Amino acid sequence: MQDNNENKHLDKEAPSLFQMLKSFTKEASKFIKAGVPFVTKEDYADRLDACKTCEHVQKKHMRCGLCGCMLQFKARMKTADCPATPSKWKEQILTTEEQEAAEQAAEESRKNRGPIIS
Ligand code: SF4
């Protein structure tokens, strides 16, 4: 019961479905364009551990309360980062090819960004 009360508080700040899809699509695009680089099993476990104790996590669905992404998927992507400042995830070192592809995807995403809908 105490968990439900905690989640009610967290649900108030949950990103909308639109925001979740927008964030996840952007992350998935970056990930695919970089050649689908995964983090190691150890880093994946460390990322989820960080999320489980984070004040922003939506525990019921393991969604990030800042970007809205489903963490079991996002945390596997080497190109993805924690949106908190500072990041709560260990820095990942991308290969030159992965880095260039991720930067190109980020630039394309910025160019294609439409007007902000509130
Ligand atoms: S991705 Fe970062 S901000 Fe989001 S729940 Fe995990 S640790 Fe928290």
Whole-model pTM: value is: 0.75
In a domain, residue 117? The reply is no
Q: What is the pLDDT of residue 35?
A: 87
In a domain, residue 93? The reply is yes
State how many domains the chain has. Answer: 1
Q: Which domain holds residue 98?
A: 2-112
Using the structure block, give the residue that is written with the tokens 């809205």: 68
In a domain, residue 13? The reply is yes
Which pLDDT tens digit goes with each residue over 8-58?
444 446 788 888 899 999 899 889 988 899 999 999 999 999 999 999 999
Distance CA 9, CA 55 (A): 11
In a domain, residue 84? The reply is yes
Q: Please tell me the distance between residue 81's alpha carbon and the centre of ligand 1 in angstroms.
A: 9
In a domain, residue 118? The reply is no
50 pocket-lining for ligand 1 (C-beta < 6 Å):
yes
In a domain, residue 68? The reply is yes
Which pLDDT tens digit goes with each residue over 60-97?
889 999 999 999 999 999 999 999 999 999 999 988 88
| Residue 56 DSSP code | T
83 pocket-lining for ligand 1 (C-beta < 6 Å):
yes
CB 25 within 8 A of CB 64: no
